[in-house]
Each structure stands twice: as structure tokens, then as C-alpha cells.
Amino acid sequence: MSTDTQAPAPQDENKLIAERRSKLDSLREAGPAFPNDFRRSALAGDLQRDYGDQDKESLEAAGQSFAVAGRLVRNRGAFLLIQDVSGSIQLYIDRKGLDEDTLAAIKSWDLGDIVAAEGVLHKSGKGDLYINMSTARLLTKALRPLPDKYHGLADQEQRYRQRYVDLIVNESSREVFRLRSRIIAFIRNYMAGRDFMEVETPMMHPIPGGATAKPFVTHHNALDLDMYLRIAPELYLKRLTVGGFERVFEINRSFRNEGLSTRHNPEFTMLEYYWAYADFEDAMDLTEDLMRKLTQGVLGTTTVTYQGQDYDFAQPFRRMTVFDSILHFNPELTAHQISDDTQAREVLRGLGVEAQPGWGLGKVQLEIFEATVEENLDQPTFITAYPTEVSPLSRRNDDDPFITDRFEFFVGGRELANGFSELNDAEDQAERFQAQVAEKDAGDEEAMHFDHDYVRALEYGMPPTVGEGIGIDRLVMLLTDSPSIRDVLLFPHMRPE
């Protein structure tokens, strides 16, 4: 049996592939080379869980037979190790109990092959479970060798490009995506438990909306119409709130035609929800409760360790305004300096950022915040009272129209969520859209279009509502201690090879 224990050089790999193809040719000549009539009776992980604590004598006395199947990942002489979705288990080559044809077939197996076996469950002297094979079959011939068993698939770019190989050989990668699935399932169940209805909204929009971002453009042939991949589901979800669905959520894929980084991917996943007769304070309370229960429910602890730093989700989350946070993290500044347009621009210039034409004081304050505050927001923190100028869909604060009833949620210096009391004044919304159009005309590719239908929807009346978007990918990064967003995406976008 080929062990393929060393990572082959390209010419050696071609030789190994040729040998495997020759074996496959022989299989085709003998009959069906890819049988599909085997049915297993047990998973490896279930056997380990249910029988791992039993002693050798008890298992031998029980004489229970099981049918198992999986990928051949180790050759240990008389023992083979197979891996299925749940874990791994050994197969014992019983030379007295297997016929000559089966022994010959097993000898031709290679690491990576999908194999099946049936036999009685035993335990070795070392305490390892194994199936004493009475029958054995090859189900799928692998034509390419697996990576070096000692080093795995170490090249990071190759792990992203060939995720299927990464998942075969790296248990840590498999665990990240199992955990991602559990996180999303927990969030879905949490929202349903609070009477939110899960909905689906279009992924192709006639005009982009719901966020300030550069969209991807496609073309609808039947309608002969340019359309945009959704940058956010917000405006459609709020249309549903107008229609009377008072609590809705969508775990959605959104697309933004922007740069790649360890925190950004053009295609990403969000939880977005809308809640009628609630405000941004209620949404912050919900977010805090969700995060605390999520960490406890999925990780078994409310202390999350990310890249060597512990984050405590059990303590009440800190809440600060944009304005107060700037002063808190920049003690050399005064309230007057960041309240006066001229002086605020000077502060920003001192940070190496030149205010652009058309920027008001709100935009300048946000730039100061992003340059000096965000990276310092380590423990779970809500930042509130964002300037109206940079919050085109948010409700103005009743006492101070310069700011909105909006928050962003930060952990480890990274934004994980954005929420606000919704703007349900149709005339105010039309004015905000018009201001965005002016910015677009001035060259801002991320500014919003004027959505006439959405304004019309608001004219029918939307109840007081709060909405929030939570970035699933960044949340999974945090909870799986993954340094790059590509580590938590099964198939991240990359340049073609």
C-alpha cells in the first residue's frame, strides 16, 4: 500500500498520479469503479463516544459488528486509520479472516482513498478502538496524494485556494467551520425565540441602497436592465416593517466592491433585523444579551480569547458617545476644539488627514474618531450619537439634530455591529437622499442613490422602528481566534492562479 508520507515534488506527484490512474483503469476493467451501494451503520465519532470507555474484554464479549466508511488517512501496517465527518477510527487487517482477493485489494489502496469496512468492534492493547475487518471495499479512488502527514497543508494561500484539501488534513480548519455553523444556528434560534420572523429579500437591486458602499454591477438580460448586487438588505426589510411585519430578520449575503484585507471580503454575511416599537437603546440591550448568551452557549464561557487578549462578555458593556470617546482617548483635546469646525479641521490635519471639500463638522469628527478611538475600544463597547451627516438613514436625536440615535458595537478595536433608530419621516429621508445624490455627483462613488420607491413606502407610514446589522464573519473571527477573515470563509475571493 502506498503511504505517501512525504510531500512529493511536482515530478514525483505526476508519477504518483499516473500510478493511481493506472490502478483506477484496472478497477474499471474489473467492474463498477465507483460503487454506491454501501451503507454504513455507524460514524467513527459515535463509536468513540459510546464505546471508548469500555474495556477490551467487554467489547470482545459483546461481539458487536459495525459498517463504517471514510477517507484513508494513515497506514500503520496492520492498522489503517479512516476519517469521516465525525472523527476517525482504526481498521485492522485480519489476514486470517479476509480472503486473498480482499487482501490484494487492500494492498493497492492509497492514502486519500474512500474506503468501507465491516467487522466486530475491538480495543487494542494501547486502548484504541478498531474494526476487525471481515469485509472491505474501495468506494472512491483518490487520484491525487494528500499533503505531508507531519506538516499538513501549511501554505496559507494554498489552504484558501484548495479548501477541500485543507478540510481533509487540518482538524483546526474543520473545527472553525463547525463552530461557524453553530454560531449562525444559535443566532437564528435566538431571534426566532424573540418572535422575529426570518425573511428573504432580493440580492439583485435596481438601485443600490441601505449602506454607503461601491456596488457590483450586473445586467438582467430579460429586463435589459443594469442591476446591483445588494450592499445591504436594509431598505427591503424596512419595506416589510411598513407592510406590518413588526419583527423581521435576515441572515444575508451582501456584496461591496471594495478592497480586500484581513477584515474585509467583497462578499460577506450579516445578521440584519428590524424591530417596530423599539429604539436604539432596546437594540443595544438585545445585542448585549445576544452576545453574552452566544458566547456562553457556543463556547461554554463568556470570556473570549482572541490573539492572546481576553474579552469579557459577562460584564456590562461600556457605552460612550462619539464626542465623549474622542475626548476620553485624546485628553489633550478640548470640547471646544472638536465642536468648532475650523479647529476640528486643524486637529484632523494634525493626524495626517486633510478634510475634503464638502465635509461638514460631523464628517470631520468621525474621521478623528476613526483615527484615534476605534483601535482603543478593546472590551465590548457601544459608541453612540453618530453625527447626522454620516448617518443618512438614522433618526435624528430629538434634543440635538446634529446627532442621530445610532450606535456601533466594538470589540478588540473592530466594529462588529451598526444599529440605529430608523428614520421614518418620509420628507426628512427624501432630503437625506438628495444630499447623498449631491455627494455622488461630486464624485463620491459610495454615496447612495435616491430611492423613490422607498420614500413612497415611508409615505404610507412606518412605525417607530430600530434596526441593526451584525457582521457574522468578524464575529466568527473573534469567537474562533482567527486572525484573518479568509480563515472563516470556506471559499474566500482570490486572484486566479
Binding-site residues sit at 408, 415
Q: At CA 155, angle to CA 154 and CA 156, rounded to 5?
A: 105
Gap between the terminal Cα atoms of the chain: 33
CA 177, 192, 465, 245 dihedral sign is positive
Q: How far is CA 437 from CA 131, 440, 453, in A?
A: 69, 5, 16
Contact 302, 314 (CB under 8 A): yes
Contacts of 257 by beta carbon, 8 Å cutoff, 6+ apart: 213, 214, 215, 216, 266
Query: In whole angstroms, what is the distance from residue 291 CA to residue 470 CA?
Result: 11
- For 256-369, strand residue ranges (E) read 267-276, 303-306, 309-312, 318-321
Query: In whole angstroms, what is the distance from residue 244 CA to residue 417 CA?
Result: 25
Strand partners, 68: 117
| Angular region, 7: left φ>0, alpha ψ -120 to 50, beta rest | beta
Q: Give the largest CA-CA distance in the chain.
A: 90
Chain centre to alpha carbon of residue 230: 18
Count, in order, helices (H) and strands (E) of the chain: 16, 18
Contacts of 226 by beta carbon, 8 Å cutoff, 6+ apart: 217, 218, 219, 220
DSSP 8-state code for residue 196: P
What's phi and psi for 196, nearest 5 deg?
Answer: -85, 140
Closest among 232, 208, 228 to 220, alpha carbons compared: 228
Cite the annotated binding site for Mg(2+) by residue number: 408, 415
Closest among 114, 137, 116 to 42, alpha carbons compared: 116
Closest among 447, 399, 455 to 425, alpha carbons compared: 455
What's the half-sphere exposure (Cβ side, CA atoms, 13 Å) at 239? 17
DSSP, residue by residue, 17-52? HHHHHHHHHHHHHHS-SS------S--HHHHHHHHT
| Angular region, 209: left φ>0, alpha ψ -120 to 50, beta rest | beta
CA 452, 458, 464, 469 dihedral sign is negative
